[in-house]
Chain A
Amino acid sequence: MREFIYSYRIPLSDTDAGGIVYHSNYIAIAERARAEMLRDIGMERMVLDAEEISVEYKRPGIFDDLVTVHSTVSMIDDRRCVISQITARGDDILAELQVKAVLRSLPDLGEVPVPHELTEA
């Protein structure tokens, strides 16, 4: 299974008054990782449009952390896929996401078949 890796430095604007990364920012970080994953295979102006997101928060991230998002894609059927996304700081897992999504083109949001380049190494 092909793994895509996206690196991101936590800015102060991602943190909250508790001193940690605000929980919904992991959703935005994971979206950036999915966009870069599509760019890696030459599919720009596309979006993996989420229908369902499950996220487990393991450890808090803090300002200035360098995190990596490890993304892998598995198919549900020829239209839908699940993207597993692990956000980690070194060996410490901060958040694990499961994103059920459909690939759509922009700006019309028409459905596009998920290419095998996302799932195959």
Chain B
Amino acid sequence: MSMFRIETRVYFSDTDATGRASWKSLFDWAEHGRTEMLREALPEIPQSELAAADGILTVIKSINCRKLGDVHLDDSIAVESWVGKIQRFSCIIGQRISSNGNVIAEFDVKAAFIDRVSKHPVLIPEAFRKALGGDI
């Protein structure tokens, strides 16, 4: 799949006393973007059912986030997500948060799949691999 986009808005709960959205909210918005990208790619397998049926959890291995600007209360924002590279046990997801056409944050996210009980890595499920595409 190619670029996936969600839109949301900056709420009071996202802001701090400087009037800006917090770093935690940037990370949370990025997670919402990744989750909705997965939901779009695999509409028949919600994350909760994947964990219940196959005992597989998605986990984040690493994130690099570069903040390029600020957003404030009531600003509308867009989160764009795409799969950069799929490996056997992990994948790289690129993400960009923008507001009014200005990029405010860029992300490189490494995600992996683990067994819910043992917490050991498992191969990326074939359904995910096919649905997400990316460079293999």
List chain A positions with a Cβ less than 8 A from chain B: 17-18, 23-25, 27-28, 31, 47, 50-57, 60, 106-107, 109
Contacts and interface: CB of A to CB of B under 8 A. Distances in A.
B120 interface: no
Given A18-B57, A54-B62, A106 B18 contact: yes
Contacts of B28: 24
Interface residues of B, number: 22
Contact of A50 (B23, B60, B116): B23
Contacts of A24: 24, 27-28, 31
Interface stretch (B63-71, B79-87, B94-102): B63-71
- Name the prevailing secondary structure of the A interface residues: mixed
A55 B18 contact: no
Contacts of A27: 23-24, 27
A25 B24 contact: yes
16 contacts: A18-B57, A23-B63, A24-B24, A24-B27, A28-B23, A31-B24, A53-B23, A53-B63, A53-B65, A54-B64, A55-B62, A57-B59, A57-B60, A60-B59, A60-B119, A107-B18
Q: Lowest 4 CB-CB distances: which A-B pairs, in order? A: A24-B27, A54-B64, A56-B62, A28-B24
B61 A56 contact: yes
Interface of B: 17-18, 22-24, 27-28, 31, 48, 51, 57, 59-67, 116, 119
A3 B119 CA distance: 31
B111 to A, nearest CB: 10
Given A17-B48, A24-B27, A109 B18 contact: yes
Contacts of A47: 18
